[in-house]
């Protein structure tokens, strides 16, 4: 009987540790802007910043990023790219597929010389969406 109790305790302890290692990062957006290539393949101008207030979730356990906008944007992480760092930025990039099956790259960029301001870039090659984000506690 004591062995069964020990196994149950170890099972709950193991499940608790597994959940403890799951990494979910939550962010809140404060603005969004868009950039598109024109019919000649040249980049246009960034749109005016629109104020938006949505939650972004990066779940490394499920390998996905979700932007909880009016239309939920779900990105399956296909590859975690190497972190890039230079004098001005730290960049975490992910090769993804969106909920339509389209390929894209998502990057979370921390701007070192701008009070560590964070931005989330969603790059489809011919259009880019950028969100200003900040960490959401708890």
Tens digit of pLDDT per residue, the chain (138 long)?
444 433 343 334 444 444 445 699 999 999 999 999 999 999 999 999 999 999 999 999 999 999 999 999 999 999 999 999 999 999 999 999 999 999 999 999 999 999 999 999 999 999 999 999 999 875
Tokens (6 digits) for 53: 């207030």
Q: Give the 3-state secondary structure of 109-128.
A: EEECCCCCEEEEEEECCCEE
Of 128, 136, 138, residue with least CA distance to 46? 128
Cβ of 10: how many Cβ atoms within 10 Å?
A: 10
Q: What is the pTM of this model?
A: 0.82
Instruction: Count the Cβ atoms, other than its own, within 10 Å of residue 129.
Output: 20
Q: What is the pLDDT of residue 22?
A: 64
Q: Could you give the C-alpha distances from 12 to 2, 24, 62, in angstroms and in order? A: 15, 21, 21
pLDDT digits (tens, 9 = 90+) for 102-114: 999 999 999 999 9
């Amino acid at each position: 009987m004591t062995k069964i109790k020990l196994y149950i305790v170890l099972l709950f302890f193991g499940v608790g540790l597994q959940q403890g290692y799951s990494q979910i990062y939550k962010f809140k957006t404060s603005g969004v802007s868009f950039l598109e290539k024109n019919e000649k393949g040249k980049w246009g101008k960034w749109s005016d910043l629109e104020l938006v207030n949505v939650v972004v979730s990066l779940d490394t356990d499920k390998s996905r990023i979700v932007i909880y906008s009016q239309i939920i944007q779900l990105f399956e992480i296909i590859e975690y790219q190497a972190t890039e760092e230079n004098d001005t930025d730290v960049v975490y990039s992910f090769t993804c597929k969106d909920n339509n099956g389209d390929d894209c790259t998502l990057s979370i960029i921390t701007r070192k010389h701008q009070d560590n301001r964070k931005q989330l870039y969603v790059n489809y090659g011919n259009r880019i969406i950028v969100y200003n984000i900040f960490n959401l506690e708890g």
